[in-house]
C-alpha cells in the first residue's frame, strides 16, 4: 500500500492504516492536492485485503481548518467558467464522501484539534469519531456566504437531528468536545495526550469480533440512513446559485488576496 504523499503522512501496520493530514503550517487546510491524495488513499483501500481499520487524524494543532479558501479564491479569479467548475467540484466532493461509506474498512476520526468545514465533513464521514478534550468543531460556511455542501447536511441531520443541524450551520458557533459528545456528533472524548491510544483501544475492542460481521453491519447501517439523491442534486443547484451572486465572489476573492 502506498505511503508516500505530499500532503499526507501515512503509516501502515497490519491491520491498521493511519492517515495524518499534513499541512500543519496551513492548519491542515484541504487544498486540491490533499483532496486528490485522500481520494487516492480511499481508492487504494478498495484493493487492500489486509487493512481492516483506518484512523484519520491531523499533524500539528489542527485536525483541519476546512477547505483551502485562498486556493479556491485564486481559482475563482482565474476561471472564466467557474460556475461549471464549481458544480463539477461539488459532484466530485459528493463522490469522495460516498467512498467513506463504500469502503470495507472501519474508519475512525481521531480529532486532535479544531475541525472546520471540510475537515468537519471528513470526520463526519468516518464510522467513529473520537475527539480530543481541547478540540472544537465549527461550520463557518454561512458567514462566508455559502452553506454546508458535498451532501454533508443530510449526514449531519442523521447524526444530530434537524434542529441541531440548523443551529450548527446557521449560527456558525464553535462547540467544544463535551458538547459534541452530548449531541451525538462524536462517540468519545479523550484527553489530548491519550487520543491515539483511545483510537487504538477501540480497534482492539473491534478485533474481538470477526471482521465480516463488522463490515456487514457498516453496510446495513449506511443503507438504513441514506443521503437522498434528490437532496444532493438540489444542493448542487443551490451552490451554483450562490456562486452566481457577487457577494460570494467577493468573499472568495478576499481569501485569495490574503494569501
Task: State residue 243's pLDDT score.
Answer: 67
Is residue 56 assigned to a domain? yes
Q: How many CB atoms lie within 10 A of CB 254?
A: 13
CATH number of the domain at 36, please.
3.90.226.10
Task: Classify 133 as helix, strand or coil.
Answer: coil
Q: Indicate the number of domains in the chain.
A: 1
In a domain, 181, yes or no: yes
At 13 the three-state DSSP class reads strand
| Measured distance CA(15)–CA(34) in Å, rounded | 24
3-state secondary structure (DSSP) of residue 192: helix
The pLDDT value recorded for residue 259 is 46
Q: What is the 3-state secondary structure (H, E, C) of 208-230?
A: CCCHHHHHHHHHHHHHHCCCCHH
**Cα separation, 248 vs 186, whole angstroms:** 31
Q: Which domain holds residue 54?
A: 8-257
If the chain, 259 residues long, is cut into consecutive pieces of 10 residues, what is the mean pLDDT of each piece? 93 97 97 95 95 98 91 68 70 88 97 97 97 98 79 90 96 98 99 98 98 97 76 68 61 49
Does residue 3 fall inside a structural domain? no
pLDDT at 142: 86
Alpha carbon distance 121, 168 (integer Å): 13
Neighbours of 98 (CB within 10 A): 17
Give the pLDDT of residue 148: 73
What pLDDT does residue 90 have? 75
Amino acid at each position: 500500500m502506498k505511503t508516500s504523499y505530499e500532503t499526507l503522512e501515512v503509516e501502515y501496520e497490519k491491520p491498521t492504516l493511519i492517515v495524518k493530514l499534513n499541512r500543519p503550517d496551513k492548519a491542515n487546510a484541504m487544498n486540491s492536492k490533499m483532496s486528490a491524495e485522500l481520494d487516492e488513499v480511499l481508492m487504494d483501500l478498495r484493493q487492500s485485503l489486509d487493512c481492516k481499520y483506518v484512523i484519520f487524524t491531523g499533524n500539528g494543532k489542527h485536525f483541519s481548518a476546512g477547505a483551502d479558501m485562498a486556493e479556491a479564491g485564486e481559482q475563482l479569479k482565474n476561471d472564466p467558467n467557474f460556475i461549471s467548475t464549481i458544480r463539477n467540484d461539488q459532484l466530485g466532493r459528493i463522490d469522495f464522501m460516498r467512498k467513506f461509506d463504500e469502503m470495507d474498512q472501519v474508519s475512525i476520526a481521531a480529532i486532535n484539534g479544531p475541525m472546520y468545514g471540510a475537515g468537519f465533513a471528513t470526520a463526519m464521514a468516518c464510522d467513529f469519531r473520537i475527539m480530543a478534550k481541547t478540540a472544537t468543531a465549527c461550520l463557518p460556511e454561512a458567514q462566508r456566504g455559502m452553506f454546508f455542501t458535498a451532501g454533508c447536511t443530510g449526514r449531519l441531520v442523521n447524526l444530530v437531528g434537524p434542529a441541531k443541524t440548523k443551529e450548527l450551520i446557521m449560527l456558525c458557533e464553535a462547540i467544544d468536545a463535551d458538547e459534541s459528545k452530548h449531541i451525538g456528533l462524536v462517540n468519545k472524548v479523550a484527553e489530548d495526550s491519550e487520543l491515539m491510544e483511545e483510537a487504538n483501544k477501540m480497534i482492539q475492542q473491534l478485533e474481538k469480533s470477526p471482521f465480516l460481521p463488522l463490515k456487514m453491519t457498516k453496510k446495513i447501517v449506511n443503507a438504513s440512513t441514506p443521503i437522498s439523491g434528490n437532496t444532493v442534486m438540489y444542493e448542487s443547484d443551490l451552490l451554483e446559485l450562490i456562486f452566481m451572486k457577487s457577494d460570494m465572489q467577493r468573499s472568495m476573492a478576499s481569501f485569495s488576496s490574503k494569501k
